[in-house]
């Protein structure tokens, strides 16, 4: 019998096919045209595999030969036909080699040698390779590591099972398909038949069932199956769509090439370069290209950049890296792409540091005083904490890039502040130069005063201006203070960041001494005629007042209440009258210190609220007996010309704000030496009669006293400053726009630093909590006590909220505001007490049961304080509520010997007020209480006998509440003070408290604007704030 060699080939058109060469003689053979003989002679497994095959081989496969391709008759194989044949061959080989089969096969394949299956049949190497692939195919099936692809065969859509690797040999794919189909058919027989399979997917997978899918659907099928199979491997991402795109910029490892990497962030948060992902096969090249392409699409700078050899990352020049940061980063981030910069890499702000400020000696001709005085300024540019050298500044300018290397570190410059600083220095040098050219400068050589631009050659003054010198790192020049300040506050300089802490050397004279970082006022001793010993900080305050006074500058003394502002003002009045004799100056003569001879000084007009007139009068009598004091108050006050004549002989005239407006004509007729506005928040509202009067009153020296200079808004600061240093901060509208709004709304650091630079010489504020100021003040303990509403309160509360929400639905803004504010007032009344809200005169306690949770708690609190012989101050903003409480408490606590309960409110006359305060302050260690309306009790009272403070309801303005609290917590207090702020649980009181406590950090600068902001809220947030949160235990 002739040898028959079995070839298994994969034909381009036909797919896998078997052809058989039969030996017809030595070195001669022919291809079988008919399988009948083979089938008869073949061993059983093979015969079985070929059982269904047709006898005649009607197909032809292309077989490369020595003389070109030959076309051999062949049996196309697919499905079980293929797996059966390869399986039969494997079985025969296994019978022959047994255990050694894998090794022998590997060896045969390596040597490309055929193997005999029996005496007659020889398996050619391509069939042996198929046997190996077949084993692999079976493994893949067992592991269910199978892909499915929609394809077309002869124009008919089909589904094919495939090996997972697309580039696998076609025969492997065919073998996988051959094995998977019957396995899936078997699975299908066991599964419950689906209600519908519109595409015919299942039978297309199991058998040669028709796939009802047009081309796009076929693509979608393939994609869906790919996604399905890939989901079997965690972390595999086919495209960047599944992961978050990340772009990472690195600092140049060497030189100036900035690597920019395309990366993907996986679900677990780790970031991997796509080049690495592609290298390990977790990302297809297309996926990597797509990720990189997304960067190209969003980042125009990168398009022109050099690509590194990965093809998906780039190497940027420093210019490109700068442009990438400025121009591309925002677009990338907006598109959801994360841009990772080198660690700790935030844009460094450029700050301008006043290096040196010195006021010209006052003797110089043409030099003004106060704000008009000439001073020399030296500014230096710093990036972050690094002060730049000329060379570095030069480099930054030349580079025109955001990225510069400073002291070996790459630094990203914040372009806004850099440009602003350049602009400022440019404007500054131009102005100081203009002054020189205009010849307004006299008596000094130009070279010494001109802007010093070290790199720019000095030129003699020419008809045309010299070209703008490059902005150096340090600029020096002279200008009057007021011009300097207006430059600092001008809108052009909005982005300049002034580094105040870094003032190296402040001046030794004039206003320069008061600038931040400067020496401060001369430390003169306290006046001898003052009948008290000033505390050290009070002496500092006096010397500060004196320094301003000498230069006819106004100031705002904003010490916390209780630190003795009155005393400092009295001391000032004493000093200006007694002068500073030479022998009291320190030993070493210091520039600018001089003897001040005693001199007659004109009268000081002090304006204060009515409630503190008495206090001023008493303190002046007691501590400054040398001063002749007159109170301009009461119906019998002198209002004619004799007042003007008499005032000249007085030292201090005390009057009230209401009289300031009313008696302005007569007050204006007096040549005042000084105007002092105590509790100066009374002149904070521009346009009111009082404010207008205060500004209209002429006096060369002006002083404002307040415990809270920025009680509500920075606008108030402007208003106060306008009363004492008119024009310093510019117009109200422009100040609001350039300074106040940026600070209040954006917390703009630049605006804060500019404002501080300009105002710091003129404001002195010490706070009580600063232990370096006062070491002997006891602790203030603040407690927020949350009380529950009674069911009666809760019912009323909810009814008000419901009513409000119904009313504001669709209401126009103005009406809405009125509705909201009035509803909040009613809600607060309910929280206080139902009887307060209802106003029906019903008893506060009904049949021994409390109707208000608050009142119940306060009663307990009062009782326990009285037990210990302590005194309590209670504040409410509702006078009506106070009137309800007074008789109730008088009766309830009669046993403690209280007598009547004092109630200090706006309607109490000055005489009664003084009497109440006096009585309260006496007999310190006995029980006592005083009820105050928040408005009336806000200012000027000393009630240190109390060591408990209760805020019955909320004003929602920490400044006002603190001021009330400070009635008790001020100098003279010997015990710790407990401040109880009452909040009704779940109500607007508690919720707004939460909102406010978040803002507390800002309270030094800005404070909530009363209740108006609530009306601005949208309905949902409003409802959220106002509605009553039910508590489980109620």
Q: Which of residues 6-65 bind other proteins (CB under 8 A)?
A: none
Burial 609-643 (b: 16+ CB within 10 A, else e): bbbbbbbbbebbeebbebbebbbbbeeeeeeeeeb
Residue 248, helix vs strand vs coil? strand
For position 247 contacting other proteins by CB under 8 A, the verdict is no
Q: How far is the CB of 238 from other proteins (least distance, A)?
A: 11
Which residue, 285 or 335, is less far from other proteins as judged by CB? Answer: 285
Contact 800, 827 (CB under 8 A): yes
What are the start-end ranges of the H helices in 846-999? 853-867, 879-892, 910-921, 958-965, 988-999
Of 135-154, binders to other proteins (CB under 8 A) are 142-146
Which of 6, 277, 676, 703 touches other proteins (CB under 8 A)? 277
Of 340-379, binders to other proteins (CB under 8 A) are 342-343
Give the Cα separation of 602 and 581 in Å (integer). 20
Of 184-223, binders to other proteins (CB under 8 A) are 184, 187-188, 191, 194-199, 201-202, 205, 214-217, 219-221
Which residue, 311 or 415, is less far from other proteins as judged by CB? Answer: 311
Q: How far is the CB of 708 from other proteins (least distance, A)?
A: 50
**Which of these ranges, 271-279, 596-604, 611-619, 923-931, lies near other proteins under the rule CB under 8 A?**
271-279
Q: How far is the CB of 74 from other proteins (least distance, A)?
A: 24
Which residue, 25 or 255, is less far from other proteins as judged by CB? Answer: 255
Which residue, 192 or 814, is less far from other proteins as judged by CB? Answer: 192
Which of 284, 386, 668, 1006 touches other proteins (CB under 8 A)? 284
Q: How far is the CB of 161 from other proteins (least distance, A)?
A: 11
Which residue, 166 or 839, is less far from other proteins as judged by CB? Answer: 166
Which residue, 309 or 640, is less far from other proteins as judged by CB? Answer: 309
For position 233 contacting other proteins by CB under 8 A, the verdict is yes
Which of 229, 482, 845, 985 touches other proteins (CB under 8 A)? 229
Residue 128 to residues 7, 10, 87, 658, Cα–Cα distance (Å): 9, 14, 11, 114
Residue 532 to residues 243, 452, 538, 606, 620, Cα–Cα distance (Å): 75, 51, 11, 21, 11
Q: How far is the CB of 166 from other proteins (least distance, A)?
A: 9
Which residue, 52 or 309, is less far from other proteins as judged by CB? Answer: 309
Q: How far is the CB of 261 from other proteins (least distance, A)?
A: 9
Q: How far is the CB of 192 from other proteins (least distance, A)?
A: 8
Task: Please choose, from the candidates 551, 497, 544, the residue with its C-alpha nearest in 3D space to the C-alpha of residue 523.
Answer: 544
Contact 691, 664 (CB under 8 A): no
Which residue, 289 or 884, is less far from other proteins as judged by CB? Answer: 289
Which residue, 65 or 194, is less far from other proteins as judged by CB? Answer: 194
CA 128, 132, 138, 141 dihedral sign is: negative
Q: Which residues contact 800 (CB under 8 A, 6 or more apart)?
A: 823, 826, 827, 830
For residue 440, give both structure tokens.
């307004």
**Which of these ranges, 181-189, 702-710, 827-835, 885-893, lies near other proteins under the rule CB under 8 A?**
181-189
Which DSSP string do the residues of 571-613 spell out, in sequence order? Answer: HHHHHHHH-B-GGGS-SS--TT---B-----PPEEEEE-HHHH
Give the Cα separation of 732 and 686 in Å (integer). 9
Give the Cα separation of 326 and 415 in Å (integer). 9
Which residue, 205 or 629, is less far from other proteins as judged by CB? Answer: 205
Which of 235, 330, 468, 634 touches other proteins (CB under 8 A)? 235
Size of the site for other proteins (CB under 8 A): 79
For position 289 contacting other proteins by CB under 8 A, the verdict is yes
Q: How far is the CB of 152 from other proteins (least distance, A)?
A: 10
Which of 74, 158, 176, 288 touches other proteins (CB under 8 A)? 288
Query: Angle between the 101-111 and 79-97 helix axes, to the nearest 10 degrees?
Result: 110
C-alpha 488: how far from chain center: 26
Of 569-598, binders to other proteins (CB under 8 A) are none
Q: How far is the CB of 336 from other proteins (least distance, A)?
A: 17
For position 164 contacting other proteins by CB under 8 A, the verdict is yes
Give the Cα separation of 804 and 827 in Å (integer). 11
For position 266 contacting other proteins by CB under 8 A, the verdict is yes
Q: How far is the CB of 63 from other proteins (least distance, A)?
A: 19
Task: Please choose, from the candidates 947, 1000, 996, the residue with its C-alpha nearest in 3D space to the C-alpha of residue 969.
Answer: 947
Give the Cα separation of 929 and 950 in Å (integer). 10
- For strand 701-705 and strand 674-677, is the pairing parallel, antiparallel, or unpaired? parallel
Of 440-499, binders to other proteins (CB under 8 A) are none
Which of 1, 106, 307, 590 touches other proteins (CB under 8 A)? 307
For position 335 contacting other proteins by CB under 8 A, the verdict is no
Task: Determine how many CB atoms are found less than 10 A away from the CB of residue 702.
Answer: 25
Say if residue 194 is exposed, middle or buried (CB neighbours under 10 Å; 0-12, 13-18, 19+): exposed
Q: How far is the CB of 265 from other proteins (least distance, A)?
A: 10
Q: Which residues contact 228 (CB under 8 A, 6 or more apart)?
A: none
Q: How far is the CB of 250 from other proteins (least distance, A)?
A: 4
For position 331 contacting other proteins by CB under 8 A, the verdict is no
Q: Which residues contact 717 (CB under 8 A, 6 or more apart)?
A: 709, 710, 729, 759
Which of 63, 132, 236, 585 touches other proteins (CB under 8 A)? 236
Give the Cα separation of 1020 and 828 in Å (integer). 20
Which of 296, 585, 601, 845 touches other proteins (CB under 8 A)? 296
Which residue, 221 or 629, is less far from other proteins as judged by CB? Answer: 221
Contact 739, 752 (CB under 8 A): no
Which residue, 53 or 298, is less far from other proteins as judged by CB? Answer: 298
Q: How far is the CB of 180 from other proteins (least distance, A)?
A: 9
Contact 106, 119 (CB under 8 A): no
Q: How far is the CB of 165 from other proteins (least distance, A)?
A: 6
For residue 345, give both structure tokens.
């890499």
């Amino acid at each position: 019998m002739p040898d028959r060699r079995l070839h298994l080939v994969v034909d381009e058109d036909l797919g896998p096919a078997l052809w058989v060469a039969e030996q017809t003689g030595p070195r001669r053979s022919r291809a079988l045209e008919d399988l009948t003989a083979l089938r008869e002679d073949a061993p059983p497994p093979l015969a079985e595999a070929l059982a269904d095959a047709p006898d005649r081989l009607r197909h032809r496969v292309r077989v490369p030969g020595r003389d070109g391709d030959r076309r051999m008759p062949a049996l196309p194989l697919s499905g079980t036909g293929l797996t059966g044949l390869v399986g039969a061959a494997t079985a025969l080989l296994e019978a022959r080699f047994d255990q050694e089969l894998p090794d022998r096969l590997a060896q045969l394949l390596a040597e490309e040698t055929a193997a005999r299956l029996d005496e007659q049949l020889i398996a050619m190497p391509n069939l042996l390779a198929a046997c190996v692939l077949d084993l692999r195919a079976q493994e893949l099936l067992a592991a269910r590591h199978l892909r499915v692809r929609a394809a077309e065969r002869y124009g008919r859509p089909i589904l094919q099972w495939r090996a997972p690797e697309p580039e696998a040999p076609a025969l492997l794919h065919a073998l996988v398909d051959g094995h998977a189909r019957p396995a899936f058919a078997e699975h299908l027989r066991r599964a419950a038949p689906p209600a519908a399979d519109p595409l015919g997917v299942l039978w297309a997978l199991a058998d040669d069932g028709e796939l009802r899918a047009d081309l796009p659907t076929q693509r979608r099928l393939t994609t869906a199956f790919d996604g399905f199979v890939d989901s079997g491997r965690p972390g595999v991402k086919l495209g960047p769509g599944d992961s978050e795109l990340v772009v990472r910029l690195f600092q140049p490892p060497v030189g100036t090439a900035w690597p920019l990497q395309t990366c993907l962030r996986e679900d677990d948060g780790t970031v991997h370069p796509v080049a690495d992902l592609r290298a390990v096969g977790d990302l297809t090249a297309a996926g990597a290209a797509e990720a990189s392409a997304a960067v190209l699409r969003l980042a125009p700078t990168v398009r022109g950049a050099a690509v590194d050899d990965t093809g998906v990352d780039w190497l940027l020049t420093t210019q490109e890296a700068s442009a990438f940061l400025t121009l591309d980063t925002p677009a990338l981030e907006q598109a959801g792409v994360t841009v990772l910069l080198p660690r700790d890499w935030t844009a460094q702000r450029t700050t301008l540091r006043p290096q040196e400020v010195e006021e010209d000696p006052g003797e110089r001709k043409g030099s003004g005083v106060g704000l008009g005085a000439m001073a020399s300024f030296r500014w230096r540019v710093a990036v972050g904490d690094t002060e730049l050298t000329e060379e570095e500044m030069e480099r930054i300018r030349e580079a025109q890039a955001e990225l510069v290397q400073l002291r070996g570190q790459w630094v990203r410059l914040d372009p806004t502040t850099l440009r602003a600083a350049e602009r400022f220095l440019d404007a500054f040098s131009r102005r100081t130069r203009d002054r020189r050219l205009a010849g307004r400068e006299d008596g000094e050589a130009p070279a010494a005063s001109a802007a010093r631009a070290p790199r720019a050659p000095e030129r003699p003054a020419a008809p045309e201006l010299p070209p703008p010198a490059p902005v150096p790192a340090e600029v020096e020049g002279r200008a009057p203070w007021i011009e300097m300040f207006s430059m600092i506050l001008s809108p052009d300089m909005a982005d300049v960041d002034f580094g105040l802490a870094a003032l190296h050397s402040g001046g030794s004279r004039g206003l320069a001494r008061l600038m931040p970082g400067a020496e401060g006022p001369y430390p003169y001793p306290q006046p001898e005629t003052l009948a008290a010993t000033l505390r050290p900080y009070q002496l500092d305050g006096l010397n500060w007042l004196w320094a301003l006074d000498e230069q006819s500058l106004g100031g705002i003394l904003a010490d916390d209440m209780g630190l003795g502002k009155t005393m400092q003002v009295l001391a000032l009045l004493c000093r200006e009258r007694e002068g500073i004799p030479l022998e009291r100056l320190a030993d070493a003569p210091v520039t600018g210190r001089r003897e001040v001879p005693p001199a007659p000084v004109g009268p000081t007009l002090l304006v204060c609220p009515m409630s503190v007139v008495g206090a001023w009068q008493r303190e002046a009598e007691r501590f400054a007996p040398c001063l002749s004091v007159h109170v301009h108050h009461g119906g019998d006050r002198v209002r004619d010309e004799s007042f003007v004549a008499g005032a000249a002989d007085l030292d201090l005239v005390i009057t009230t704000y209401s009289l300031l407006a009313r008696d302005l004509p007569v007050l204006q007729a007096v040549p005042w030496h000084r105007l002092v506005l105590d509790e100066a928040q009374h002149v904070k509202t521009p346009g009111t009669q009082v404010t207008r009067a205060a500004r209209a009153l002429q006096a060369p020296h002006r002083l404002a006293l307040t415990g809270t200079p920025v009680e509500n808004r920075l606008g108030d600061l402007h208003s106060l400053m306008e009363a004492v240093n008119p024009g310093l901060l510019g117009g109200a509208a422009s100040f609001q726009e350039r300074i106040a709004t940026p600070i209040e709304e954006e917390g703009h650091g630049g605006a804060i630093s500019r404002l501080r630079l300009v105002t710091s010489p003129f404001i002195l504020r010490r706070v009580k909590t600063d232990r370096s100021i006062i070491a002997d003040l006891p602790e203030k303990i603040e407690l927020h006590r949350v009380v529950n509403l009674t069911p009666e309160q809760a019912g009323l509360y909810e009814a008000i909220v419901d009513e409000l929400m119904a009313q504001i639905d669709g209401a126009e803004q103005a009406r809405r505001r009125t509705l909201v504010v009035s509803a909040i007032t009613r809600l607060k009344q309910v929280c206080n007490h139902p009887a307060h809200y209802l106003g029906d005169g019903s008893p506060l306690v009904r049949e021994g049961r409390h109707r208000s949770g608050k009142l119940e708690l306060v009663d307990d609190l009062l009782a326990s304080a009285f037990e210990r012989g302590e005194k309590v101050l209670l504040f409410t903003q509702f006078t009506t509520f106070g009137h309800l409480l007074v008789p109730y408490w008088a009766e309830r606590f009669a046993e403690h010997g209280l007598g009547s309960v004092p109630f200090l409110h706006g309607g109490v006359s000055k005489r009664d007020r003084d009497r109440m305060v006096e009585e309260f302050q006496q007999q310190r260690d006995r029980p006592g209480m005083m009820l105050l309306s928040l408005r009336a009790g806000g200012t000027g009272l000393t009630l240190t006998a109390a060591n408990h403070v209760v805020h019955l309801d909320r004003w929602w303005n920490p400044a006002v509440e603190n001021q009330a609290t400070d009635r008790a917590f001020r100098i003279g207090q010997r015990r710790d003070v407990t401040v109880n702020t009452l909040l009704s649980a779940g109500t607007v009181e508690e919720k707004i408290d939460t909102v406010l406590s978040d803002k507390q950090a800002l309270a030094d600068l800005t404070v909530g604007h009363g209740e108006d902001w609530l009306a601005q809220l949208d309905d949902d947030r409003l409802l959220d704030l106002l509605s009553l949160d039910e508590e489980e235990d109620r």
